[in-house]
Copies of this chain bind each other. A is one copy, B any other.
Amino acid sequence: MVTIRDIARQAGVSVATVSRTLSEPDAVRAETRARVQEAVAAMNYTPNAIARQLRRQRKETIIVIVPDISNPFFSGIVKGIENLAHDMGYRVLLGETQGKQERLDYYADLVLTRIADGLILLGSLLPTMVQASVAAGQAPSIPLVLACERFDGLQCPTVGIDNVAAARMAVMHLVQRGCSKIATITGPADNSLSLDRAQGYREVLAAAGLPIDGAMMGEGDFTIESGFAAMNLLLDKGLGVDGVFCANDEMAIGAQQAVLSRGLRVPQDVAVIGFDDIRFGAFAYPPLSTIRQPVGDLGEAAMRALDEVLHKKPTEQQSVILPHELVVRGSTA
């Protein structure tokens, strides 16, 4: 393996000069620089980044933790993070937890072991060490940013949208369309997103003078399959559902299939609206109405927030709320 010493010897200079040529070329006389660069090329030298990291004490690597990479919503955010991270000179390590606490802790440990500088967390699980901080009422012990859920009592920057308002917008759309028996399929009950979206649902029903009925509220786990199952349950009750607000697009796609599989029509018999605007929604049958989240921007904002945490910049705002948008397609129109 060729090291900086080999280059130094070859070019007839000191290792310091080689190091300078590589990191601040202007600090070296042109002629010397040329000799060094020649040696570098000749010997096919690439600096050892691990050694550099050890010396500099900066890793310029961040971890992004997602529950499930194959979820287009998460991967959209990751894409936003990646783009900006790259420009800002960070590497990104992507960790998938598949909902397992053990996996999550494993990835969070990478910042303890100095592999990475900080963490961006998507999803509803918190690393054990962070839970401990929350319990103790203190700030998390590692640089951390939350990129879609919020956790009360966790002192760290959070980026997201106003889920209550967004849910309101979705349900309002159903009301305006003339639906009066509006059901909802929520995510898991321990999830802040689920809670907020269910809250928006209730607020609109109340404001519209419609009854709020627990029997009209199904629960899924954000997968297509769970949306399909939950919708079937809802339909089985024979309550005359004529519209359904699903807490994400995947469940909405499942719900649509459930409706269609009973010979009912979407949207004539049951209007369906989802949440997220994933890529497949527009090509579902019928094309899915939804709330669009600015996934790319969410990712970038999270990256920016983490960068600020890492540089201990005055944390201007603990949370950034990005705008959402109603997208009307065939499933409600």
Q: Which residues of A contact B (CB under 8 A)?
A: 46-51, 53-54, 59, 69-70, 72, 75-76, 78-79, 82, 86, 91-94, 96, 98, 103, 106, 109-110, 112-115, 224, 228, 253-254, 257, 260, 279-280, 282-285
Contacts of A260 in B (CB 8 A): 285
Is A93 within 8 A of B96, CB to CB?
no
Which of B70, B79, B253, B285 lies in contact with A79, CB distance below 8 A? Answer: B70
Contacts of A49 in B (CB 8 A): 110, 113-115
Is B47 within 8 A of A113, CB to CB?
yes
Is B91 within 8 A of A94, CB to CB?
no
Min Cβ gap A295→B in Å is: 10
Of chain B, the residue at the smallest CB distance from A257 is B283
Contacts of A86 in B (CB 8 A): 103, 106
A-B contact pairs, 18 of them (CB 8 A): A46-B109, A46-B114, A47-B113, A48-B114, A49-B115, A50-B115, A69-B69, A69-B79, A70-B72, A70-B75, A70-B279, A72-B72, A79-B98, A92-B93, A224-B282, A257-B283, A280-B280, A284-B285
Which of B72, B78, B91, B113 lies in contact with A115, CB distance below 8 A? Answer: B91
Which of B94, B112, B282, B285 lies in contact with A93, CB distance below 8 A? Answer: B94
Contacts of A253 in B (CB 8 A): 280, 283
Copies of this chain assembled into the complex: 2
Of chain B, the residue at the smallest CB distance from A53 is B50
Is B54 within 8 A of A50, CB to CB?
yes
Min Cβ gap A49→B in Å is: 4
Which of B59, B79, B224 lies in contact with A50, CB distance below 8 A? Answer: B59
Contacts of A51 in B (CB 8 A): 54, 114
Contacts of A69 in B (CB 8 A): 69, 75, 78-79, 94
Which of B76, B113, B280 lies in contact with A48, CB distance below 8 A? Answer: B113
Min Cβ gap A221→B in Å is: 14
Of chain B, the residue at the smallest CB distance from A78 is B69
Min Cβ gap A132→B in Å is: 12
User: Within the assembled complex, what's the spacing in Å between the Cα atoms of A285 and B109?
Assistant: 43
User: Within the assembled complex, what's the spacing in Å between the Cα atoms of A91 and B82?
Assistant: 18
Of chain B, the residue at the smallest CB distance from A82 is B96
Is B283 within 8 A of A254, CB to CB?
yes
Which of B224, B228, B283 lies in contact with A279, CB distance below 8 A? Answer: B224
Min Cβ gap A254→B in Å is: 6
Of chain B, the residue at the smallest CB distance from A107 is B91
Of chain B, the residue at the smallest CB distance from A278 is B70
Contacts of A91 in B (CB 8 A): 93, 110, 115
Find the residue from A96, A103, A228 having the highest chain B CB count within 10 A.
Answer: A96
